[in-house]
Structure 1
Amino acid sequence: MNKRSVLERIRGGLIVSCQAVEGEPLHGADTMTKMALAAKMGGAVGIRANGAEDIRRIKACTELPVIGIVKRVYEDSEVYITSTLREVEEVVEAGADIVAVDATMRRRPGNLSTSAFLERVKREFPDIVLMADISTLEEGIMAEQSGADVVASTMAGYTAYSRPSAGPDLALVANLVNTLTVSVVAEGRIRRPEEAKACIELGCWAVVVGSAITRPQDITRDFVEEIRKAISR
Protein backbone atom coordinates (compact mmCIF):
# COMPACT_ATOMS: atom_id res chain seq x y z
CA MET A 1 0.00 0.00 0.00
CA ASN A 2 1.14 3.55 -0.69
CA LYS A 3 1.13 6.22 1.99
CA ARG A 4 -2.24 7.67 1.08
CA SER A 5 -4.02 4.32 0.97
CA VAL A 6 -2.54 3.32 4.35
CA LEU A 7 -3.78 6.52 5.95
CA GLU A 8 -7.19 6.26 4.33
CA ARG A 9 -7.67 2.75 5.70
CA ILE A 10 -7.28 3.94 9.29
CA ARG A 11 -9.12 7.25 8.91
CA GLY A 12 -11.80 7.84 11.54
CA GLY A 13 -11.25 4.46 13.15
CA LEU A 14 -9.95 2.64 16.19
CA ILE A 15 -6.46 1.17 16.23
CA VAL A 16 -5.86 -1.36 18.99
CA SER A 17 -2.42 -1.62 20.54
CA CYS A 18 -1.69 -5.33 21.07
CA GLN A 19 1.49 -5.49 23.13
CA ALA A 20 2.87 -7.55 25.99
CA VAL A 21 6.50 -7.29 27.00
CA GLU A 22 8.68 -10.15 28.18
CA GLY A 23 7.68 -11.28 31.66
CA GLU A 24 4.00 -10.51 31.21
CA PRO A 25 1.56 -13.45 30.99
CA LEU A 26 0.31 -12.58 27.48
CA HIS A 27 3.77 -12.12 25.98
CA GLY A 28 4.30 -13.92 22.68
CA ALA A 29 3.25 -13.66 19.06
CA ASP A 30 0.61 -16.40 19.35
CA THR A 31 -1.32 -14.58 22.05
CA MET A 32 -0.91 -11.14 20.51
CA THR A 33 -2.11 -12.43 17.13
CA LYS A 34 -5.27 -13.79 18.78
CA MET A 35 -5.73 -10.47 20.56
CA ALA A 36 -5.39 -8.66 17.22
CA LEU A 37 -7.92 -10.98 15.57
CA ALA A 38 -10.36 -10.28 18.40
CA ALA A 39 -9.82 -6.55 17.88
CA LYS A 40 -10.53 -6.97 14.18
CA MET A 41 -13.76 -8.80 14.98
CA GLY A 42 -14.76 -5.84 17.13
CA GLY A 43 -14.23 -3.40 14.28
CA ALA A 44 -10.65 -2.17 14.71
CA VAL A 45 -9.18 -0.65 11.54
CA GLY A 46 -5.57 -1.23 12.51
CA ILE A 47 -3.19 -2.73 15.07
CA ARG A 48 -0.16 -1.33 16.86
CA ALA A 49 2.38 -4.11 17.51
CA ASN A 50 5.77 -4.44 19.17
CA GLY A 51 8.56 -6.57 17.72
CA ALA A 52 9.26 -8.04 14.30
CA GLU A 53 7.64 -11.43 14.94
CA ASP A 54 4.43 -9.93 16.32
CA ILE A 55 4.27 -7.49 13.40
CA ARG A 56 4.68 -10.24 10.80
CA ARG A 57 2.18 -12.61 12.40
CA ILE A 58 -0.47 -9.99 13.08
CA LYS A 59 -0.22 -8.48 9.61
CA ALA A 60 -0.51 -11.90 7.95
CA CYS A 61 -3.46 -13.04 10.09
CA THR A 62 -5.54 -9.89 10.26
CA GLU A 63 -4.68 -8.18 6.95
CA LEU A 64 -5.14 -4.89 8.82
CA PRO A 65 -2.66 -2.01 8.61
CA VAL A 66 -0.03 -2.43 11.32
CA ILE A 67 1.78 0.33 13.19
CA GLY A 68 5.07 -1.28 14.09
CA ILE A 69 7.50 -0.50 16.88
CA VAL A 70 10.42 -2.19 18.59
CA LYS A 71 10.92 -1.54 22.29
CA ARG A 72 14.56 -1.83 23.34
CA VAL A 73 16.33 -0.38 26.38
CA TYR A 74 19.63 1.49 25.95
CA GLU A 75 21.77 2.41 28.93
CA ASP A 76 22.50 5.92 27.70
CA SER A 77 18.90 6.97 27.00
CA GLU A 78 15.35 7.00 28.38
CA VAL A 79 14.05 6.55 24.83
CA TYR A 80 13.06 2.95 24.10
CA ILE A 81 10.39 3.01 21.36
CA THR A 82 12.06 2.45 17.97
CA SER A 83 14.88 4.65 19.16
CA THR A 84 17.61 3.95 16.56
CA LEU A 85 17.90 3.05 12.89
CA ARG A 86 18.42 -0.56 13.94
CA GLU A 87 14.87 -0.76 15.25
CA VAL A 88 13.45 1.17 12.29
CA GLU A 89 15.01 -1.36 9.92
CA GLU A 90 13.56 -4.27 11.91
CA VAL A 91 10.07 -2.75 11.72
CA VAL A 92 10.37 -2.05 8.00
CA GLU A 93 11.66 -5.54 7.21
CA ALA A 94 8.81 -7.06 9.22
CA GLY A 95 6.37 -5.38 6.85
CA ALA A 96 4.74 -2.76 9.08
CA ASP A 97 2.58 -0.28 7.20
CA ILE A 98 3.46 2.56 9.58
CA VAL A 99 6.69 2.92 11.56
CA ALA A 100 6.25 4.65 14.92
CA VAL A 101 9.21 6.19 16.74
CA ASP A 102 9.71 8.10 19.97
CA ALA A 103 10.00 11.73 18.82
CA THR A 104 10.34 13.39 22.22
CA MET A 105 13.17 15.83 22.90
CA ARG A 106 14.85 13.47 25.33
CA ARG A 107 18.43 12.36 24.76
CA ARG A 108 18.54 9.53 22.25
CA PRO A 109 20.99 6.60 22.13
CA GLY A 110 24.22 7.88 20.65
CA ASN A 111 23.19 11.44 21.57
CA LEU A 112 21.61 12.10 18.15
CA SER A 113 19.05 14.88 18.20
CA THR A 114 15.45 13.88 17.52
CA SER A 115 15.12 16.15 14.49
CA ALA A 116 18.32 14.73 12.98
CA PHE A 117 17.08 11.20 13.69
CA LEU A 118 13.72 11.80 11.98
CA GLU A 119 15.39 13.39 8.97
CA ARG A 120 17.79 10.46 8.70
CA VAL A 121 14.94 7.94 8.91
CA LYS A 122 13.07 9.69 6.10
CA ARG A 123 16.25 9.91 4.03
CA GLU A 124 17.11 6.21 4.40
CA PHE A 125 13.50 4.94 4.26
CA PRO A 126 11.72 7.45 1.99
CA ASP A 127 8.72 5.23 1.26
CA ILE A 128 7.59 4.53 4.82
CA VAL A 129 4.75 6.19 6.68
CA LEU A 130 6.55 7.67 9.69
CA MET A 131 4.60 8.25 12.91
CA ALA A 132 6.15 10.50 15.57
CA ASP A 133 5.17 9.71 19.18
CA ILE A 134 5.35 13.06 21.00
CA SER A 135 4.48 14.55 24.40
CA THR A 136 4.14 18.29 23.70
CA LEU A 137 2.96 20.63 20.97
CA GLU A 138 6.52 21.82 20.40
CA GLU A 139 7.62 18.24 19.73
CA GLY A 140 4.73 17.81 17.31
CA ILE A 141 5.77 20.90 15.36
CA MET A 142 9.39 19.73 15.28
CA ALA A 143 8.32 16.27 14.10
CA GLU A 144 6.27 17.67 11.23
CA GLN A 145 9.12 19.96 10.20
CA SER A 146 11.51 16.98 10.29
CA GLY A 147 9.40 14.87 7.93
CA ALA A 148 6.93 12.90 10.05
CA ASP A 149 3.80 11.87 8.14
CA VAL A 150 1.72 11.36 11.29
CA VAL A 151 2.01 12.83 14.78
CA ALA A 152 0.61 10.91 17.76
CA SER A 153 0.08 12.08 21.34
CA THR A 154 1.43 8.77 22.66
CA MET A 155 4.01 10.17 25.07
CA ALA A 156 1.90 12.92 26.66
CA GLY A 157 2.36 12.68 30.41
CA TYR A 158 5.17 10.14 30.06
CA THR A 159 8.01 12.66 29.86
CA ALA A 160 9.18 14.64 32.88
CA TYR A 161 8.30 17.96 31.22
CA SER A 162 4.87 17.13 29.76
CA ARG A 163 1.60 17.71 31.59
CA PRO A 164 0.60 14.76 33.80
CA SER A 165 -2.98 13.58 33.44
CA ALA A 166 -5.13 10.69 34.60
CA GLY A 167 -6.80 10.58 31.19
CA PRO A 168 -5.99 11.60 27.63
CA ASP A 169 -4.52 15.06 27.14
CA LEU A 170 -7.39 16.44 25.07
CA ALA A 171 -5.95 19.96 25.17
CA LEU A 172 -2.75 18.74 23.53
CA VAL A 173 -4.74 16.75 20.98
CA ALA A 174 -6.77 19.84 20.08
CA ASN A 175 -3.65 21.99 19.78
CA LEU A 176 -1.97 19.44 17.53
CA VAL A 177 -5.01 19.23 15.26
CA ASN A 178 -5.31 23.00 15.04
CA THR A 179 -1.59 23.62 14.47
CA LEU A 180 -0.25 20.82 12.28
CA THR A 181 -0.98 19.99 8.66
CA VAL A 182 -0.09 16.29 8.97
CA SER A 183 -2.51 13.70 10.34
CA VAL A 184 -2.87 13.64 14.13
CA VAL A 185 -3.53 10.36 15.98
CA ALA A 186 -4.74 10.38 19.59
CA GLU A 187 -3.05 7.86 21.86
CA GLY A 188 -2.32 7.58 25.55
CA ARG A 189 -4.56 6.94 28.58
CA ILE A 190 -7.73 6.61 26.52
CA ARG A 191 -9.79 4.26 28.67
CA ARG A 192 -13.43 4.90 27.78
CA PRO A 193 -15.33 4.92 24.47
CA GLU A 194 -16.49 8.46 25.24
CA GLU A 195 -12.86 9.62 25.35
CA ALA A 196 -12.13 8.03 21.97
CA LYS A 197 -15.22 9.72 20.56
CA ALA A 198 -14.08 13.07 21.93
CA CYS A 199 -10.72 12.69 20.17
CA ILE A 200 -12.39 12.07 16.82
CA GLU A 201 -14.69 15.05 17.40
CA LEU A 202 -11.59 17.20 17.95
CA GLY A 203 -10.46 16.28 14.43
CA CYS A 204 -8.08 13.37 15.00
CA TRP A 205 -7.35 11.12 12.05
CA ALA A 206 -7.63 7.99 14.21
CA VAL A 207 -7.48 6.82 17.83
CA VAL A 208 -5.16 4.23 19.40
CA VAL A 209 -6.30 2.37 22.53
CA GLY A 210 -4.15 -0.23 24.25
CA SER A 211 -4.30 -1.02 27.97
CA ALA A 212 -8.06 -0.52 28.31
CA ILE A 213 -8.59 -3.33 25.79
CA THR A 214 -5.55 -5.59 25.76
CA ARG A 215 -3.96 -5.53 29.22
CA PRO A 216 -6.15 -7.60 31.56
CA GLN A 217 -3.82 -7.08 34.52
CA ASP A 218 -4.37 -3.31 34.28
CA ILE A 219 -8.12 -3.67 33.77
CA THR A 220 -8.32 -6.02 36.76
CA ARG A 221 -6.32 -3.59 38.90
CA ASP A 222 -8.78 -0.79 38.15
CA PHE A 223 -11.69 -2.93 39.34
CA VAL A 224 -9.80 -4.07 42.45
CA GLU A 225 -8.88 -0.51 43.41
CA GLU A 226 -12.49 0.66 43.16
CA ILE A 227 -13.71 -2.28 45.24
CA ARG A 228 -11.07 -1.53 47.89
CA LYS A 229 -12.33 2.05 48.07
CA ALA A 230 -15.83 0.79 48.81
CA ILE A 231 -14.60 -1.58 51.51
CA SER A 232 -12.47 1.09 53.21
CA ARG A 233 -15.38 3.50 53.70
Structure 2
Amino acid sequence: MTSTSAAAFDPLSVRSVPGRSALAGGLIVSVQAPEGSPMREPSVIAAMAEASLAQGAIGVRLESPEHIGAVRRRCPQALIVGLWKRTLPGSAVYITPRWQDLQQVWAAGADVVAIDATDRPRPEHETLAEIVARARAMGIPLMADVDGIANGLRAAALGCHWVGTTLYGYTEDTSGLRPPAWNLLEPLRRQLSPEVILVCEGGIASAEQAAEAVSRGADAVVVGTAITGVDLQVAAYVKRLRA
Protein backbone atom coordinates (compact mmCIF):
# COMPACT_ATOMS: atom_id res chain seq x y z
CA MET A 1 0.00 0.00 0.00
CA THR A 2 2.70 2.47 0.93
CA SER A 3 6.16 3.36 -0.24
CA THR A 4 8.82 5.98 0.40
CA SER A 5 9.29 6.53 -3.33
CA ALA A 6 9.59 10.20 -4.27
CA ALA A 7 8.75 9.70 -7.94
CA ALA A 8 7.08 12.69 -9.54
CA PHE A 9 3.32 12.45 -9.95
CA ASP A 10 1.95 12.73 -13.46
CA PRO A 11 -1.28 14.78 -13.26
CA LEU A 12 -2.37 13.36 -16.63
CA SER A 13 -2.12 9.76 -15.42
CA VAL A 14 -5.24 7.62 -15.51
CA ARG A 15 -6.44 6.87 -12.00
CA SER A 16 -8.81 4.06 -11.12
CA VAL A 17 -11.11 4.22 -8.11
CA PRO A 18 -12.42 1.06 -6.42
CA GLY A 19 -16.11 0.27 -6.72
CA ARG A 20 -18.61 -0.28 -3.93
CA SER A 21 -17.68 -3.89 -3.30
CA ALA A 22 -14.00 -3.05 -2.84
CA LEU A 23 -14.78 -0.19 -0.45
CA ALA A 24 -17.40 -2.05 1.57
CA GLY A 25 -16.94 -1.50 5.29
CA GLY A 26 -13.73 0.43 4.72
CA LEU A 27 -12.19 3.18 6.82
CA ILE A 28 -10.95 6.38 5.22
CA VAL A 29 -8.88 8.47 7.60
CA SER A 30 -9.13 12.23 7.31
CA VAL A 31 -5.58 13.42 7.89
CA GLN A 32 -5.87 17.15 8.46
CA ALA A 33 -4.63 19.76 10.90
CA PRO A 34 -5.91 23.28 11.63
CA GLU A 35 -4.14 26.43 10.53
CA GLY A 36 -1.30 27.30 12.88
CA SER A 37 -0.82 23.77 14.14
CA PRO A 38 2.68 22.21 14.08
CA MET A 39 0.91 19.10 12.76
CA ARG A 40 0.10 20.93 9.53
CA GLU A 41 3.58 20.31 8.08
CA PRO A 42 3.32 18.25 4.86
CA SER A 43 5.86 15.73 6.14
CA VAL A 44 3.80 15.19 9.31
CA ILE A 45 0.59 14.81 7.33
CA ALA A 46 2.30 12.31 5.03
CA ALA A 47 3.62 10.30 7.98
CA MET A 48 0.17 10.13 9.59
CA ALA A 49 -1.33 9.08 6.27
CA GLU A 50 1.23 6.32 5.83
CA ALA A 51 0.65 5.08 9.38
CA SER A 52 -3.11 5.00 8.77
CA LEU A 53 -2.74 3.04 5.55
CA ALA A 54 -0.30 0.62 7.15
CA GLN A 55 -2.92 -0.26 9.77
CA GLY A 56 -5.60 -1.09 7.22
CA ALA A 57 -7.28 2.16 6.22
CA ILE A 58 -8.50 1.88 2.63
CA GLY A 59 -7.72 5.51 1.91
CA VAL A 60 -7.11 8.99 3.26
CA ARG A 61 -8.91 12.30 2.94
CA LEU A 62 -6.54 15.25 2.61
CA GLU A 63 -6.88 19.02 2.48
CA SER A 64 -4.87 21.24 0.09
CA PRO A 65 -2.80 20.45 -3.00
CA GLU A 66 0.37 20.69 -0.89
CA HIS A 67 -0.68 17.89 1.45
CA ILE A 68 -2.11 15.77 -1.35
CA GLY A 69 1.18 16.00 -3.21
CA ALA A 70 3.20 15.11 -0.11
CA VAL A 71 1.14 11.99 0.54
CA ARG A 72 1.09 10.97 -3.12
CA ARG A 73 4.88 11.08 -3.23
CA ARG A 74 5.24 9.10 0.00
CA CYS A 75 2.38 6.67 -0.69
CA PRO A 76 2.09 6.30 -4.47
CA GLN A 77 -0.61 3.62 -4.32
CA ALA A 78 -2.83 5.31 -1.74
CA LEU A 79 -6.47 6.05 -2.43
CA ILE A 80 -6.68 9.81 -1.88
CA VAL A 81 -9.85 11.83 -1.49
CA GLY A 82 -8.68 15.41 -1.89
CA LEU A 83 -10.21 18.79 -1.19
CA TRP A 84 -9.21 22.38 -0.66
CA LYS A 85 -10.81 24.58 1.97
CA ARG A 86 -11.13 28.11 0.61
CA THR A 87 -12.86 31.04 2.30
CA LEU A 88 -13.97 33.38 -0.46
CA PRO A 89 -16.15 36.51 -0.44
CA GLY A 90 -19.83 36.27 -1.17
CA SER A 91 -20.28 32.56 -0.43
CA ALA A 92 -20.44 30.20 2.54
CA VAL A 93 -19.22 27.32 0.33
CA TYR A 94 -15.65 26.47 1.34
CA ILE A 95 -14.90 22.84 0.39
CA THR A 96 -13.31 23.00 -3.07
CA PRO A 97 -15.72 25.80 -4.04
CA ARG A 98 -14.51 26.68 -7.56
CA TRP A 99 -13.58 24.84 -10.73
CA GLN A 100 -10.03 26.15 -10.52
CA ASP A 101 -9.71 24.75 -6.98
CA LEU A 102 -10.97 21.38 -8.17
CA GLN A 103 -8.41 21.34 -10.98
CA GLN A 104 -5.54 22.00 -8.59
CA VAL A 105 -6.66 19.25 -6.20
CA TRP A 106 -6.85 16.81 -9.11
CA ALA A 107 -3.48 17.85 -10.51
CA ALA A 108 -1.86 17.37 -7.09
CA GLY A 109 -2.74 13.67 -7.15
CA ALA A 110 -6.22 13.10 -5.72
CA ASP A 111 -8.13 10.06 -6.98
CA VAL A 112 -11.47 11.53 -5.94
CA VAL A 113 -12.13 15.24 -5.45
CA ALA A 114 -14.51 16.24 -2.65
CA ILE A 115 -16.67 19.29 -3.29
CA ASP A 116 -19.43 21.11 -1.43
CA ALA A 117 -22.59 19.89 -3.16
CA THR A 118 -25.16 21.86 -1.19
CA ASP A 119 -27.56 24.20 -2.95
CA ARG A 120 -25.88 27.34 -1.58
CA PRO A 121 -24.56 30.03 -3.96
CA ARG A 122 -20.97 29.40 -5.03
CA PRO A 123 -18.20 31.97 -5.49
CA GLU A 124 -17.83 33.74 -8.83
CA HIS A 125 -21.34 32.73 -9.96
CA GLU A 126 -20.34 29.16 -10.79
CA THR A 127 -22.97 26.46 -10.38
CA LEU A 128 -22.68 22.93 -9.08
CA ALA A 129 -24.14 21.58 -12.32
CA GLU A 130 -21.48 23.35 -14.39
CA ILE A 131 -18.63 22.15 -12.19
CA VAL A 132 -19.82 18.53 -12.16
CA ALA A 133 -20.30 18.54 -15.93
CA ARG A 134 -16.76 19.81 -16.50
CA ALA A 135 -15.35 17.24 -14.10
CA ARG A 136 -17.24 14.41 -15.80
CA ALA A 137 -15.92 15.54 -19.18
CA MET A 138 -12.37 15.19 -17.84
CA GLY A 139 -13.03 11.88 -16.08
CA ILE A 140 -12.59 13.30 -12.58
CA PRO A 141 -14.52 11.32 -9.92
CA LEU A 142 -16.28 13.54 -7.40
CA MET A 143 -17.37 13.10 -3.80
CA ALA A 144 -20.38 15.28 -3.05
CA ASP A 145 -20.21 16.64 0.50
CA VAL A 146 -23.85 17.23 1.43
CA ASP A 147 -26.02 18.19 4.38
CA GLY A 148 -29.26 16.45 3.53
CA ILE A 149 -31.10 13.86 1.46
CA ALA A 150 -32.28 16.20 -1.29
CA ASN A 151 -28.81 17.59 -1.94
CA GLY A 152 -27.33 14.09 -1.93
CA LEU A 153 -29.80 12.84 -4.51
CA ARG A 154 -29.34 15.94 -6.64
CA ALA A 155 -25.55 15.59 -6.61
CA ALA A 156 -25.77 11.96 -7.64
CA ALA A 157 -28.21 12.83 -10.44
CA LEU A 158 -25.76 15.42 -11.72
CA GLY A 159 -23.03 12.78 -11.87
CA CYS A 160 -21.13 12.71 -8.58
CA HIS A 161 -19.69 9.23 -7.99
CA TRP A 162 -19.65 9.41 -4.17
CA VAL A 163 -22.07 11.06 -1.73
CA GLY A 164 -20.89 11.90 1.79
CA THR A 165 -22.75 13.26 4.82
CA THR A 166 -19.86 15.62 5.55
CA LEU A 167 -21.79 18.86 5.90
CA TYR A 168 -24.66 17.62 8.07
CA GLY A 169 -24.73 20.06 10.99
CA TYR A 170 -22.39 22.54 9.29
CA THR A 171 -24.70 24.51 6.99
CA GLU A 172 -27.25 27.19 7.71
CA ASP A 173 -30.11 24.72 7.18
CA THR A 174 -28.63 22.11 9.54
CA SER A 175 -26.91 24.29 12.15
CA GLY A 176 -29.16 22.93 14.89
CA LEU A 177 -28.28 19.32 14.12
CA ARG A 178 -25.34 17.32 15.39
CA PRO A 179 -23.49 14.65 13.41
CA PRO A 180 -23.24 11.72 12.81
CA ALA A 181 -26.00 11.97 10.21
CA TRP A 182 -27.73 8.73 11.18
CA ASN A 183 -31.05 9.82 9.71
CA LEU A 184 -29.58 10.38 6.25
CA LEU A 185 -27.89 7.04 5.65
CA GLU A 186 -30.79 4.63 5.19
CA PRO A 187 -32.92 6.97 3.00
CA LEU A 188 -29.93 7.85 0.83
CA ARG A 189 -28.84 4.25 0.34
CA ARG A 190 -32.38 3.26 -0.53
CA GLN A 191 -32.79 6.03 -3.12
CA LEU A 192 -29.32 6.29 -4.61
CA SER A 193 -28.28 4.29 -7.63
CA PRO A 194 -26.47 1.04 -6.71
CA GLU A 195 -23.32 2.39 -8.37
CA VAL A 196 -23.09 5.47 -6.14
CA ILE A 197 -20.84 5.10 -3.10
CA LEU A 198 -22.35 6.37 0.15
CA VAL A 199 -19.91 7.65 2.76
CA CYS A 200 -20.64 8.54 6.36
CA GLU A 201 -18.45 11.42 7.44
CA GLY A 202 -18.71 13.73 10.41
CA GLY A 203 -18.98 13.09 14.13
CA ILE A 204 -17.78 9.48 14.13
CA ALA A 205 -15.96 9.23 17.47
CA SER A 206 -15.51 5.48 18.01
CA ALA A 207 -15.12 2.16 16.22
CA GLU A 208 -18.60 1.25 17.41
CA GLN A 209 -20.10 4.30 15.71
CA ALA A 210 -18.20 3.50 12.52
CA ALA A 211 -19.65 0.00 12.51
CA GLU A 212 -23.13 1.43 13.10
CA ALA A 213 -22.73 3.71 10.08
CA VAL A 214 -22.03 0.70 7.90
CA SER A 215 -24.99 -1.18 9.36
CA ARG A 216 -27.20 1.80 8.43
CA GLY A 217 -26.12 1.72 4.79
CA ALA A 218 -22.77 3.50 4.45
CA ASP A 219 -20.28 1.83 2.12
CA ALA A 220 -17.33 3.47 3.84
CA VAL A 221 -16.69 5.70 6.84
CA VAL A 222 -14.47 8.77 7.12
CA VAL A 223 -12.98 9.44 10.55
CA GLY A 224 -10.82 12.45 11.26
CA THR A 225 -10.65 14.18 14.63
CA ALA A 226 -11.08 10.99 16.66
CA ILE A 227 -7.96 9.52 15.02
CA THR A 228 -5.73 12.31 13.73
CA GLY A 229 -7.07 15.44 15.45
CA VAL A 230 -4.26 15.83 17.98
CA ASP A 231 -4.92 19.55 18.53
CA LEU A 232 -8.67 19.21 19.13
CA GLN A 233 -8.40 16.00 21.14
CA VAL A 234 -5.80 17.39 23.53
CA ALA A 235 -7.74 20.64 23.94
CA ALA A 236 -10.88 18.65 24.81
CA TYR A 237 -9.06 16.59 27.44
CA VAL A 238 -7.50 19.68 29.00
CA LYS A 239 -10.80 21.54 29.08
CA ARG A 240 -12.54 18.62 30.75
CA LEU A 241 -9.83 18.13 33.36
CA ARG A 242 -9.74 21.83 34.23
CA ALA A 243 -13.48 21.80 34.70
TM-score norm. by structure 2 comes to 0.86
Q: Kindly state the Cα deviation for residue 119 of structure 1 after the two structures are TM-superposed.
A: 2.4
Aligned-partner Cα distance in 2 for 1:87–1:52 = 9
In structure 1, the residue matched to 2:227 is 213
Are residue 115 (structure 1) and residue 94 (structure 2) matched?
Answer: no
Q: Which runs of 5+ in 2 are unaligned?
A: 1-13
Q: Say what the alpha-carbon RMSD is for the aligned residues.
A: 1.9
8 Å CA contact 1:68, 1:97 repeated in 2: yes
| Alpha-carbon contact 2:98-2:123 (below 8 Å) kept | yes
Question: Which residue, 138, 141, 162 being the options, matches 2:150?
Answer: 138
C-alpha distance in 2 between matches for 1:77 and 1:203 = 32
Secondary structure in 1 matching 2:174: coil
| Rounded Cα–Cα distance in structure 2 between residues aligned with 1:165 and 1:193 | 22
Alignment of 1:17-56 (within 5 A): 17-56=30-69
Q: Which residue of structure 2 aligns with residue 66 of structure 1? A: 80
* Deviation, structure 1 residue 4: 5.2
Shift of 1:204: 1.1
Change (3 A) 1:9 1:91: farther
TM-score, length basis structure 1: 0.90
Query: After superposition, what is the alpha-carbon deviation per residue over 1:176-210, rounded to whole angstroms, capped at 9, x for unaligned?
Result: 11111111011011111111000111121110001
Aligned residues: 227
* 2:18 counterpart SS class: helix
Deviations 1:145-201 (A, max 9, x none): 111011000000100102634440111122211111111011011111111000111
Q: Which runs of 5+ in 1 are unaligned?
A: none
8 A Cα contact 2:168 2:178, kept in partner: no
**1:57 maps to which residue?**
70
The structure-2 alpha-carbon separation of the partners of 1:40 and 1:105, relative to structure 1 and needing over 3 Å to count, comes to same
Match of 2:8 in 1: none
Whether 1:129 and 2:135 are equivalent positions in the alignment is: no
In the other structure, the counterpart of 1:5 is 18
